[in-house]
Amino acid sequence: MKYLIFTFLIGLVSCGESIDTDVFIERETIINDVVISGKIKNGAGLEISLEAPLLQSRGTKVQVVKGIIDKDDSFKLNTQVPGLGYYLLKLNSKESDTLELTLNNGDQLSLNTSVAEFTSKPNFSGVSWAEDANNYQEILNAPLSKENLSSYASKRMKENAINPFNIIHSMHLMNDKDDYNEARIQIFFEVANAFYSNYPGSEPANNFQKQTVFLRKYMENNAFYDVPEISLNTPNNQILNLSDLKGKYVLVDFWASWCGPCRKENPNVVKLYKKYRKKNFTVYSVSLDEDGTKWKQAIKKDNLIWPNHVSDLKGWNSSVVPTFNIQGIPYTILVNPDGKIIGVNLRGQELENKLEEIFKS
């Protein structure tokens, strides 16, 4: 799942074509220079470069600017960037000697280190995220870095949602399935919202927002949410609660007699009900009909043989529409025996595959 969340990082920077000059970014408006300077002991004569990872199939990187460290071990890189983004500072073109940065317009970043401690103790200063970057590099080079980085990322993202370095923290927020919990995902949502408000239009902000869509889908499909209660009348005018079916796998099927795609999908639902009804599976059909007679006729005509049919006969004014944010029908929610949502809007082959996965044993 780590791939799902963090693949956006290599595409955070919008770049022009690669050329041989120091600055490769074309822009229509003047933006403040970014300056990276400092001293690297024993680094005289070595090349230092700033790179921007690109979302390309070859995995290549475009160079932003490069320079040679002076004989007194000092250097200064001056360039311009198209807003907040993710960059790499590399010493002597070595992948092993690379620092991750989150630069924005006007940043004045300094470091004071040595060749030997370039990645372990860069001693960043001059930007709001310098302390985070220093701590990050120290943890990254220590034993148990994976576990410690995950905890540190969670703590810092929660404490300061607008911190630019959260672009890098987010890479370690959820390293494996054990880290995928509601608290960590909520932290990610808060950071995404903070970036959306404070860095509007930036690539990181846009990509954080895109990732929230995937995470919400992940939560819906992995039993993070309790299904809201439904209490509506059956065709016999008796209340039937969804919670009455707790202990079973339940397909909550929103449909209507007037809905062509719903009627077309009904045979598939009937087939699956017949196949799995003896394996603790049932269907709870919620109609958005307004005409009770047509609703009952459709149940009979489509051979919807399960006993759980409900409706308030209010059509799109039904109470279930805002509760479940229903935008169209057919619409389904799959609920596990604990009353947790484990699938949303499954139908056709996708629904069949999900049930087969559940009941394969």
Q: Could you report the per-residue pLDDT of 98-151, keeping only the tens digit for each?
A: 999 999 999 999 999 999 999 999 999 999 999 999 999 999 988 877 888 899
Buried b (16+ CB within 10 A) or exposed e, 131-151: ebbbebbbbbeeeeeeeebbe
* Nearest alpha-carbon partner for 188 in 158, 229, 214, 163: 158
In a domain? residue 96: yes
Q: Say if residue 69 is in the same domain as residue 199.
A: yes
Last residue of a domain, one of 168, 197, 219: 219
Could you give the number of structural domains in the chain?
2
In a domain? residue 114: yes
In a domain? residue 64: yes
In a domain? residue 115: yes
Last residue of a domain, one of 198, 219, 240: 219
In a domain? residue 205: yes
- Are 284 and 251 contacting, i.e. CB atoms less than 8 angstroms apart? yes
In a domain? residue 189: yes
Last residue of a domain, one of 219, 243, 261: 219
Q: Say if residue 176 is in the same domain as residue 305.
A: no
Return d(Cα 236, Cα 253) in angstroms, integer.
19
Q: Say if residue 304 is in the same domain as residue 345.
A: yes
Task: Tell if the pTM clears 0.75, that is, is over it.
Answer: no
Return d(Cα 165, Cα 170) in angstroms, integer.
9
Return d(Cα 313, Cα 146) in angstroms, integer.
54
Q: Say if residue 295 is in the same domain as residue 210.
A: no
- Are 358 and 249 contacting, i.e. CB atoms less than 8 angstroms apart? yes
Q: Say if residue 77 is in the same domain as residue 136.
A: yes
Taking the CA atoms of 144, 150, 153 and 154 in sequence, report the sign of the dihedral they define.
negative
Angle at CA of residue 273, ends 326 and 306, nearest 5°: 80
CA 245 → CA 248, 323, 337, distances in Å? Answer: 6, 19, 8
Q: Average pLDDT of 309-325?
A: 96
Return d(Cα 241, Cα 310) in angstroms, integer.
9
pLDDT of res. 54:
58
Tell me what the pLDDT averaged over the chain comes to.
88
What is the pLDDT confidence band of residue 282, given thresholds at 50, 70 and 90? very high
Token pair, residue 265, equals 């999908």
Q: Say if residue 61 is in the same domain as residue 184.
A: yes
Secondary structure of 185-201 in HEC code, one letter for each residue: HHHHHHHHHHHHHHCCC
Q: Say if residue 164 is in the same domain as residue 291.
A: no
Could you tell me the residue range of the domain that residue 267 belongs to? 231-359
Residue ranges in the chain assigned as alpha helix (H) = 2-6, 130-140, 145-159, 166-169, 182-198, 203-221, 260-276, 292-301, 320-323, 348-359
More confident residue, 174 or 355: 355
Q: Phi/psi of residue 124, each to 5°?
A: -65, 150
Helix, strand or coil, per DSSP, at residue 51: strand
Helix, strand or coil, per DSSP, at residue 32: coil
Q: Say if residue 24 is in the same domain as residue 127.
A: yes
Helix, strand or coil, per DSSP, at residue 182: helix
pLDDT in tens, 12-38: 322 222 222 233 333 344 457 999 999
Q: Say if residue 82 is in the same domain as residue 181.
A: yes
In a domain? residue 188: yes
Q: Say if residue 182 is in the same domain as residue 244.
A: no
pLDDT of res. 219:
86
Question: What pairs with residue 283 in β-bridges?
Answer: 251
Which residue's structure tokens are 């509007």?
200
Question: What pairs with residue 63 in β-bridges?
Answer: 51
Q: Say if residue 18 is in the same domain as residue 131.
A: yes
Q: Say if residue 95 is in the same domain as residue 131.
A: yes
In a domain? residue 111: yes
* Percent of the chain residues topping a pLDDT of 90: 74
Q: What CATH code is carried by the domain that includes residue 328?
A: 3.40.30.10
